[in-house]
Amino acid sequence: MAQFYRENKGGRARSLKLALIAAFMMAIVLIQACGSSGQSTNGTSSSGSEAGAEAAGTSSEAASNVPAVLNYGFIGSNKLNLPAGAEGWGLYKGIIQEELKKYGISEVKATGFPNGPDQTESLISGRLDFGSLGDTPAIIAYSSGAKTRLITQSSTGTIGYVIGKKDGPKTIQDLKGKTIAIQKGSFMHRYVVGLLKQEGVTDYKLVHMLIPDAQAALARGDVDAMTNTGVNALKQIDEGFTYLDDATKHPDLLGTSATVVSEDYLQKFPDFPKVWNEARLKALEDLKQHEEEYYQFVAQVYNTTVELAEKVYPISDIKDTPFTDNGLKLLEGTKNFLVEEKLAKREFNISDWQLIIGG
């Protein structure tokens, strides 16, 4: 019995010794694990590789929030279904698509609209993510509560024309008491109202018509004059309609473009303004290296000749920065005019609307 007790006692001693050794070894393993966990004693990360992995994970998560399809609106209609300028060229050549793919955007759906008000309606309703249009409809929409942000003025010299019917008015003063076809809410609306005010003409009637309808009405003599722009205006003059005025005589009435993005889309892709402007700049740099091909592209967009495309839409008019001092000055003047004429519903600061990310 005593022998059994001594043997049992010795076994318990050995078991206790083994247990202490095991505990000691476990402590060593835990200490080593803590030392390689990437955390220093002050709580900051000490592992660059893990920090990089965490950043990559965050970036991937952000990219995953960007919708695969980007819906873009522009003004005009043509067989290419694209605008001119750096935006159109970039989409035509695939330059912009390649840049956007880096952020998870696999498709850009471009949609043409007959005028700015129609485009802003689609933007407000959520059918578009962003769009390029004239400054006047963009300002009117924002002043009416549209949740948009201004990210680019790609051009600042859009010329409006006033064209009279054949054997009709010969001067702006002759428009007193006459009917003028306009696109309500467009930059040409702002141009002609501003022009008539400067000329002291107050007794006139404005009627809203899209360009094709206005051209037909002018040809029939149903209206006395109309506003037009670009190639369409020059074609009318060549056809014998009366040239009355254009905005080059009134630099403060020149139109500018506005690229605006919905705040809803910005929540999904906060860096979109920077990404879009960088992609657009790459497209501009490319078209400057392929001027002849670019003007052929513009001729297709506007259904005109290459010679007329070079004359009306020179590359020099395309801006290589999102905003310029002159462009913002014109925008401010347009906004003030629209507020004064009660075409814009409220006063606001352009800087509150303007959004710049990444310079």
- How long, in residues, is the chain? 359
From the CB of residue 185, how many other CB atoms can be counted at a distance below 10 Å? Answer: 23
Q: Three-state SS for 338?
A: helix
Q: What is the DSSP letter of 354?
A: B
Domain boundaries, the chain: 67-157+255-353, 160-253
pLDDT tens track for 163-172: 999 999 999 9
Tell me, what's the pLDDT at 277? 97
Which tokens go with 19? 């247990």
Locus of tokens 């919708």: 67
63: CB partners within 8 A, 6+ apart: 103, 104
- Are residues 225 and 218 in contact, defined by beta-carbon separation less than 8 angstroms? yes
Tell me if domain 67-157+255-353 and domain 160-253 are identical in fold: yes
- Are residues 68 and 117 in contact, defined by beta-carbon separation less than 8 angstroms? no
Beta strand 179-182 with 225-229 is: parallel
Which class is domain 160-253?
alpha beta
- Are residues 16 and 9 in contact, defined by beta-carbon separation less than 8 angstroms? no
pLDDT tens track for 201-237: 999 999 999 999 999 999 999 999 999 999 999 999 9
Tell me, what's the pLDDT at 65? 87
pLDDT tens track for 116-148: 999 999 999 999 999 999 999 999 999 999 999
pLDDT tens track for 68-83: 999 999 999 999 999 9
* Helix orientation angle between 187-198 and 135-143, rounded to the nearest 10 degrees: 100
Q: With a cut of 70, say whether residue 255 has pLDDT above it.
A: yes
Please give the residue that has the higher pLDDT: either 2 or 155. Answer: 155
Which CA distances in Å does 239 have to 215, 233, 354? 12, 10, 41
pLDDT tens track for 293-326: 999 999 999 999 999 999 999 999 999 999 999 9
- Assess if CATH 3.10.580.10 describes domain 67-157+255-353: no
Tell me, what's the pLDDT at 346? 95
Taking the complete model, does pTM exceed 0.75, yes or no? yes
From the CB of residue 24, how many other CB atoms can be counted at a distance below 10 Å? Answer: 9
Q: Three-state SS for 82?
A: coil
Tell me, what's the pLDDT at 242? 98
Please give the residue that has the higher pLDDT: either 52 or 146. Answer: 146
* Euclidean distance between CA atoms 10 and 54, whole angstroms: 54
